[in-house]
Amino acid sequence: MTNAKTRTKFAERQQLALTAAAVLLSLALGGCAVPRASTSNTVQPLDQAIAQATDALVAQTQALPSFLSKLEPKRTVMVDPMIDVAIGARTETTQLLQKRVTERLGATKDTLEVVPFEGLNFAKATYLLTGTVTRTVGKPGTPVQIKLALTELRTGKVAAQATTVARDDGLDGTPLATDQDNPVLVKDKVVNGYVRTTAMPPGEKADPYYMEHVVVAPAINVAAEAYATGRYADALAQYTAASAMPTGDQLRVLTGVYLSLVKLNRMPEAEAAFGKVVSYGLDSKQLGVKFLFTPGSTVFWPDPAVSGQYGMWLTQVATKATDAKVCMTVVGHTSRTGSQEFNDTLSVQRGSYIRDQLIARSPVLAERTKPDGKGYRENIVGSGTDNAVDALDRRVEFKVNPCS
């Protein structure tokens, strides 16, 4: 009986100690001020800028006194693949950024531990890490801005944010495989929400649209990796699975399905998939398509591997625009090569050419469309390299307008 009472009292004291610790932890958490974002405008070598930004994130998460931090469970981090702000996609540079940040965090395992970017980890991970690279449009070689943010998954609030500036010592802005092959500009509401979240100060809510749709991102990531390694059937299966998720109606998913079907030579299905891409863009009031023209002309690039699908693209744009009864401005763009006057004229000519192609497929669009051109004044990349890096600068945009 005495032993039983002793065990009972010991259990009571243990419970009291645990309760007291929990109270202290709660008070400490409640009393800790929200950390301030770290911003440095000093231009540094890339590795130094990345190290400074990463270390600043870690420092901002150290809110608890050391004796209380031991009571916290292990804090884990998932990384949503980092992107270039201008194109809303991954590049060789953003891939390098992500690798360096992950390695730096890996050296602080006692503080934060990086876990795989998988759907099951959303319920277990502490933070979601996002990162962006921003270049100065039209000024290759100028410093690039790096932004990193940690969002607490439990609360949906940004817990830490850091900004640094790095030298552009030949950084490679080439998009990765799926983003390079992508027929359209993929900056939809999800991507824009990612960018906003990465710039948010600590204590603010992450972009709600992005946080609602991020659960699809691991499947998109797996699909993109399969596509990049030539496993197109696997990529299609993953993109299709992503499209079936409640928040899977995303431009990256729709274009991924289309690209995978093209690689598998399932062209009737690919055409239907591109139609969905067009409908998504028209619903969003803007669709930017990457038509590659022969330099200085309105003639499509002659290589069928490049321009072989353009006729089908135009048919789908004409069909979907007709069905939706929308009015559009067809806006041509050029890369930063040649004089401004020449490119202004050329961009209007390209817009007019694409509009004529649409009218030939659906005459009713003659009354619902008008041409325009922006030369290189609305370049997204602005490198003037006329290759995969600045392909989006040579896009044609279909901007939906009110019908007067």
Q: What is the pLDDT of residues 222-263, one digit of tens each?
A: 999 999 999 999 999 999 999 999 999 999 999 999 999 999
Going by pLDDT thresholds of 50, 70 and 90, the confidence category of residue 324 is very high
Placement of tokens 């699809």 in the chain? 216
Q: Which residue has the higher pLDDT, 292 or 203?
A: 203
AA identity, residue 239: Y
Going by pLDDT thresholds of 50, 70 and 90, the confidence category of residue 303 is confident
Q: Is the pLDDT assigned to residue 17 strictly greater than 70?
A: no
Portion of the chain with pLDDT greater than 90, in percent: 67
Strand partners, 131: 148
Alpha carbon distance 366, 6 (integer Å): 91
Q: Is the pLDDT assigned to residue 15 strictly greater than 60?
A: no
User: What are 23-47's pLDDT values in tens digits?
Assistant: 444 444 444 568 899 999 999 999 9
Going by pLDDT thresholds of 50, 70 and 90, the confidence category of residue 140 is low
Going by pLDDT thresholds of 50, 70 and 90, the confidence category of residue 109 is low
User: What are 347-389's pLDDT values in tens digits?
Assistant: 999 999 999 999 999 999 999 999 999 998 887 776 677 766 6
Burial label, 338 (beta-carbon count in 10 A; 0-12, 13-18, 19+): middle
Going by pLDDT thresholds of 50, 70 and 90, the confidence category of residue 187 is confident
The arithmetic mean of pLDDT across residues 283-288, rounded, is 91
pTM of the model: 0.85
The answer to whether residues 312 and 271 touch, using CB atoms and an 8 Å cutoff, is yes
What single DSSP character describes residue 135? Answer: P
Tokens describing residue 337: 């090569």
Going by pLDDT thresholds of 50, 70 and 90, the confidence category of residue 336 is confident
The arithmetic mean of pLDDT across residues 96-103, rounded, is 96
The arithmetic mean of pLDDT across residues 303-325, rounded, is 95
Alpha carbon distance 164, 38 (integer Å): 8
What single DSSP character describes residue 294? Answer: P
What local confidence, expressed as pLDDT, does residue 32 receive?
53
The arithmetic mean of pLDDT across residues 119-125, rounded, is 93
What local confidence, expressed as pLDDT, does residue 267 receive?
97
Q: Could you tell me the domains of the chain? A: 32-199 (3.40.50), 270-404 (3.30.1330.60)
What local confidence, expressed as pLDDT, does residue 223 receive?
97
Going by pLDDT thresholds of 50, 70 and 90, the confidence category of residue 170 is confident
The answer to whether residues 146 and 93 touch, using CB atoms and an 8 Å cutoff, is no
The arithmetic mean of pLDDT across residues 190-209, rounded, is 97
Alpha carbon distance 399, 404 (integer Å): 15
Q: Is the pLDDT assigned to residue 105 strictly greater than 80?
A: yes
CA distances from 192 to 50, 83, 287 (A): 22, 11, 15
Q: Is the pLDDT assigned to residue 396 strictly greater than 50?
A: yes
The arithmetic mean of pLDDT across residues 187-193, rounded, is 93
Which of helix, strand or coil describes residue 391?
helix
Q: Is the pLDDT assigned to residue 52 strictly greater than 70?
A: yes
Quick one: CA dihedral 89, 92, 98, 101, positive or negative?
negative
What local confidence, expressed as pLDDT, does residue 246 receive?
95
Q: Is the pLDDT assigned to residue 9 strictly greater than 60?
A: no
Q: Which residue has the higher pLDDT, 221 or 139?
A: 221
The arithmetic mean of pLDDT across residues 304-310, rounded, is 90
Going by pLDDT thresholds of 50, 70 and 90, the confidence category of residue 293 is confident
Measure the CA angle with vertex 253, ends 150 and 82; round to 5°. Answer: 30
Structure-derived torsion over alpha carbons of residues 165, 166, 171, 177, reported in degrees to the nearest 10:
-40
Alpha carbon distance 70, 300 (integer Å): 63
Going by pLDDT thresholds of 50, 70 and 90, the confidence category of residue 180 is confident
Alpha carbon distance 111, 123 (integer Å): 19
Give Rg (Cα) of the chain.
25
Interior/surface letters 53-65, b for 16+ CB within 10 angstroms, e for the rest: bbebbbebbebee
Burial label, 91 (beta-carbon count in 10 A; 0-12, 13-18, 19+): buried
What local confidence, expressed as pLDDT, does residue 356 receive?
97
